[in-house]
Amino acid sequence: MEEHIKEVLEIVKAQASVRSMSEEEINAMIRSLAAGIRGIGTGGGAPEEDEPARDAKKAIKEKSISCVVCGKTFKILTKKHLALHGFNAKSYREHCGYKKGTPLVCKSLQRERRKKMKEMRLWERRAQ
């Protein structure tokens, strides 16, 4: 059993060295990988019942957005990923209880885009 934990920590360490991860993302990844490796070791698959419920209110974070359905984290939830779960952007927002115009991107990217659009001042160009 101790060997499983060492393997999980090596995997998470490698992932954290490639991209920035919050403490809760690291903890969630450790838990899910440990459960998956334990399940494989006993001959079963990864137990999905042990996985904590994903909260839509906590899914949109500063540097990432988590898919409420599968739990993967992204900077932006694409149409392609949502289609894997049988959703489009509108139906996903309804499923999660988000407001109609809620962007499916992390907060930092949302701020960058807003700043860029203000700098471009497209509304002035259109008036001319």
Residues 84-124 have pLDDT tens digits of 999 999 999 999 999 999 999 999 999 999 999 999 988 88
Coil vs helix vs strand at 73: strand
pLDDT the model gives residue 91: 94
Long-range contacts formed by 3-9: CB under 8 A, 24+ apart? 4/34, 4/37, 4/38, 4/41, 5/34, 7/37, 8/33, 8/34, 8/37
Q: Locate the DSSP E strands across 1-128.
A: 65-66, 73-74
Could you tell me the two tokens for 80?
A: 């392609």
Cα(122)–Cα(115) distance, rounded to whole angstroms? 12
Cα(35)–Cα(111) distance, rounded to whole angstroms? 36
pLDDT the model gives residue 44: 54
